[in-house]
Amino acid sequence: MHRAKERRPPPPDAATPDWWERGGPRDRERRHDGAVRPLHPPVNAHENARALADGLFPHQVEGVAFLLGRRRAILADEMGLGKTRQAIVSLRHAAPDGPYLVVCPASVKRNWAREIELVAPDAPILVIEGSAPVAPVASWVIVNYDLLGRHRDALAQVSWAALVFDEAHYLKNHISARSKLARDITARASAVAAHPLIVQLLTGTPLTSRPRDLFVLLQLVAHPLGRSFLAFAKRYCAAEKGEFGWKTGGASNIDELTVQLHGVMLRRSKDDVLALPPKLRTWLPVAVPAGTGARAIQKVLMLLTGKPVREGDRGRSVTPAGPVPAAADWAPMPGRERNARKRGKLLAFITEARQALAIAKTSAVLDFVRGAVEQGEKVIVFSCFDGPIQKLAKELGPAAVVLTGKTPGATRQDVVDRFQQEASVRVFLANIVAGGIGVNLTAATQVVFNDLDWVPTNHWQAEDRAYRIGQTQTVNVTYFVAENTIDDFVHAVLETKAAIVSAILEGEAIAGDLGGDVLDELQRALHSLSTGLADTAGGPADETLVSRLVKEASDVFRARHEVDPAGTAARRSAVDVEAFERALERLAKVLSGAPSRRFRIASTSHEGQEYEIVVADADVTCTCAGFEYRGQCRHARDIKAALASGLDIPAPYSEVH
């Protein structure tokens, strides 16, 4: 475990406004969502805001204002915009005495401790390591998701002022043990908290590919849409009841969902808020030995097109009975294990092909890396597999450092620091999961992907280890794509999924449905091919045939989603005094407290009855039965839509003064 120095009483400075310290029941009003506001705004709100914003970028000041505006919120900024710092600053202001519990991936625990020490050097910090019992007594307690269950009972005894779930997309599966544990910890903390609990969710990827991934996040922040998964799925996930239960992997009413997220989730991109150097993404085709991975991919194609696959020399075959669904899309059913086994075989064949391609590409990657190093640049190389990393490490020798899932947690930051600070260390070799989040690698100007992960967000997060605050040079991102292989199709999917995530989080319209993961997309694309071509998947493992199938599937996918490989031009805004002053005004307004607004509308089904819609910041609640049950209703949607668009509240709603 790790402890900082003993905590000293905080000085009575402007960062802790006196209205927060002295305010009793007579000086405050309690909002419906638990947020606390002063009834009499302080006269020094602007001075307090300026002190609180010291050392922050304008977008971070606005982020702090957003987090202070409600007790529970999702900060969904792109990677590299300083979400950790915004959370720490806002929490120290909202609940100066703590204590705070931070739940995060193991790889970023030390980074959290370092950031806290920079903001609050005297605050005691406990970083929980291992399963040995500990007494969680400190202002800041940091634990990773994998250890949360082992220390649940001890952590539940503490009256936390705030909970932070970093990389909150880890909780996206609402039926997983991890998400259930997070909800249990939150509920127990709420029950024993001395004041309304603060809950902050931080993630650069709150939605990986489907709206249903948002549901747990909405539950944790007590958003009305988190009350009923079935109601949420029916409206926003295009839920369909099939033979074996509900399928919730789609998307519907996306524009409306974007409006509903307004106020509970704040999303900014680097292009919008920072004058960072441009990030240039390049897909570099690589020639690999003929037939690399072709046999395994042929088995995948055969399974997806319903043909028997002979396994090894034993002569056994497996014949899918229809489409192979995503396992998470099925409710409990008698045949679930059967379908899961089939999907497991698909993943096994895909992994076999990906590993073969990854090894085949290392020679080209090594040449590229050596060229960049010779030009004086530092390089990050990511791979999904240990083989390429070890091969590259052996070739590069002491010029490279390695970070994988096997790297001890206590030495991970040392590996990062060596790359960042030592001139002789030129290359950072990392597993895309272990090294793709929570580390700052701005010494690099080249980011290289030896192989392609089938989860797009893993790539975007890994890219931004170099492209983040502190970067002063152009960052070049290079993807090595094995020509005429399954890499071509993954390349098409990676480009499209990035646009899908952006569309939902940033309020853009989406054409077509979201689809599923790469396997689902490959199956759909194959079904769109001509019958004769698809039928040939059962023939010999001919490289030309497999390449043709993959190419046509890629073309079908791109045509359906209208992918623009060139992307759109980045919009950049300078960090200037005007932007900082605008951010200060927003923060001062939050510190002063904004009164709630109330509206009424007559019921159309119950004569003489009226419903009241309450608006506090961007939170909207309604007293009608539909809202109480589903967390949504026409009245709340109407008001929210008007607020999000800046329009007047429409008739027949009347404001109550």
Higher pLDDT, 46 or 431: 431
Task: Check if the beta carbon of residue 171 is closer than 8 Å to that of residue 178.
Answer: yes
Nearest-10 Cα torsion for 74, 75, 76, 79 = -150
627 near 635, Cβ under 8 Å?
Answer: yes
Q: How confident is the model at residue 458 (pLDDT cuts 50, 70, 90)?
A: confident
Peptide bond into 99 cis (omega under 30): yes
Cα separations (Å) of 43 from 19, 22, 46, 153, 593? 10, 14, 8, 44, 12
CATH of 279-292+353-561, one of 3.30.70.20, 3.40.50.300, 3.20.20.70, 3.10.50.40: 3.40.50.300
Helix (H, G, I), strand (E, B), or coil: what is residue 615?
strand
**Lowest pLDDT segment from 141-150, 264-273, 497-506, 623-632:** 497-506
d(CA 620, CA 614): 6
The pTM for the full model equals: 0.57
Q: What is the distance in angstroms between the CA of the first residue and the CA of the last residue of the chain?
A: 55
Q: What is the mean pLDDT of residues 534-563?
A: 63
**Highest mean pLDDT pick, 31-35, 174-178, 385-389, 556-560:** 385-389
Find which of 233-247, 272-286, 519-533 is predicted with most confidence, using mean pLDDT. Answer: 233-247
CB 99 within 8 A of CB 138: yes
Cβ-count burial of 532 within 10 angstroms (0-12 exposed, 13-18 middle, 19+ buried)? Answer: exposed
512: left (phi over 0), alpha (psi -120 to 50) or beta: left
DSSP letters along 537-602, please? GGS---HHHHHHHHHHHHHHHHHHHT--TT--PPP-----HHHHHHHHHHHHHHHH----EEEEEE
Helix (H, G, I), strand (E, B) or coil at 432: coil
User: How many Cβ atoms from other residues are within 10 Å of residue 312's Cβ?
Assistant: 6
Mean pLDDT of 213-236: 85
Q: How far apart are CA 435 and CA 101, in angstroms?
A: 24
Q: Where in the chain is the domain with CATH 3.40.50.300?
A: 279-292+353-561
**Residue 376: both structure tokens together:** 């004086």
User: Residue 65: phi, psi to the nearest 5?
Assistant: -60, -40
Q: What is the pLDDT of residue 175?
A: 82
For 637, the token pair is 């949607």
Bridge partners (DSSP) of residue 389 are none
Kindly give, in sequence order, each residue whose CB lies less than 8 Å from that of residue 411, ignoring residues fewer than 6 positions away.
none
